[in-house]
Amino acid sequence: MANPKKILIHYTHKGTLGHTTRIQSLCHELVRQYGARVKIHVLQGGLPQPFIRFPRQVRLIPIPAPFDSRASFRIGRKIQKNDRLRSHFVLKIAQRIEPDVFLTEFFPFGRQDYIPELLPALQALHRQGTRIYASIGYPCCVDQIDGQNRDLAAGRAGIITLYDKIFIHTPEGLENRYFQKTLPTPALRHNYANFYRAIAPKTIYTGYIVPARPGSTPRRAALTRHTPGKYSVVVSRGGGAVYPKVIINAVKAQKILGDKYRLIIALGPSTSPAEQKVFQMVLKDHPSRNIAILDDIPDLPYFLERCDTSVSLCGYNTSVQLLGARIPGIVVPFVNPNSPFPSNEQSARALLLRDHGGSSVLPYNKMTPEAIAGTIREKCENGRNVFKSPAGWFNGASNTAGLLMQDERR
């Protein structure tokens, strides 16, 4: 039997779920398809997420001195990165493992704080002929298209030359159109198109990577039991790193909606102790037997297939699962206050869900209990339309696993 192909992956997450679950799903698919023919090592660059379960065959390697967390979203926050320590660690791991494939998640399209720790390993692996790939969830290039930041653009262009292929985990041509729609000037749209035209020879659109789906427990399944004349609504905010008012306003909205509506609310696993206290206070002030509170919904597709609508952010995981379940939801796109740019991936994806999934878009700054209640009532009482998303949109994990296992050499 030939030696197994060695794959080394680097990723981080900032307390969110999308980046983690894409890598988790990819690892599950590699193990499922290739078993002992592949050996996977994962360098985890952020704070631990103990609720995430990788396949037992995967070796998880925490990078020392993690600095990225949900606090990274705060305006003006200074981050101590320990660049030398982390750079040395990543390089030594790469030299020890001698991978056939090195895969970075989101970098170099994002995570610019990780250039110091990744560049030495990328350069060393490139020199020895290792295949180097990028795993990019979506074609967001908000900072890439900033023509004013020439140093950033030039630095990234140089790093991209080290990569053999760039895997973008969306259907080809789909999300790019929506990113361009959110750009406010012709010049920015022009720069965006030029960037993707330049990297086209290296780019492969794999389709969406669907999160690995655990089974639902009997207790959780009971929450979705259909009762004639009543409606079920799932409320979630992904990892729970941002936008706590989604939870607060949903709890208050249930009182407006009344007993016909049951809300299943997931706080998110990154919810802070301070937020927990606030949520408990709101629940105490607005008690209801028609609200079920969960920390997380890892089996979200199970709930979406059985509910009448949902209220959520517009992150990658939730959006893909909404499209797959063919449910028209209510989406609240996250807009990063640290970004000077008017476009971001959730704003663009909200337009996609509006057009392809019949969802309503509710900006966070306009979200009130009354607005949520009115939109929930509209979605539920107008009947559930069936929107058709092609099955081929959701083969990203299988397609990417196959590409990683190719024996192509430089």
Condensed to tens digits (0 to 9), the pLDDT of residues 372-393 reads 999 999 998 876 666 678 888 9
Cβ neighbours of 78 (radius 10 Å): 6
* Tokens linked to 32: 């499922």
Residue 13 vs residue 115, higher pLDDT: 115
Nearest to 103 by CA among 143, 130, 73: 130
The amino acid at residue 380 is C
Peptide bond into 244 cis (omega under 30): no
Residues 346-361: tens digit of each pLDDT: 888 999 999 888 899 9
Nearest to 359 by CA among 343, 373, 375, 346: 375
Question: Residue 377: what pLDDT?
Answer: 94
Report the pLDDT averaged over residues 177-185: 84
Helix (H) or strand (E) holding 204: strand 203-205
Question: Residue 238: what pLDDT?
Answer: 80
| Reported confidence tier of residue 407, pLDDT bands at 50, 70, 90 | low
In eight-state DSSP terms, residue 57 is: T
Query: Do residues 249 and 369 make contact, with C-beta atoms less than 8 angstroms apart?
Result: yes
* Total number of residues shown for the chain: 410
Residues 291-335: tens digit of each pLDDT: 999 888 877 888 888 889 999 999 888 899 888 888 889 999 988
**CA atoms of 135 and 22, how far apart (whole Å):** 9
* Tokens linked to 294: 């969960």
Task: Provide the whole-model pTM.
Answer: 0.87
Domains of the chain: 5-207+395-404 (3.40.50.2000), 218-390 (3.40.50.2000)
Would you say residue 338 has pLDDT above 80?
A: no
Distance from first CA to last CA of the chain, Å, rounded? 24
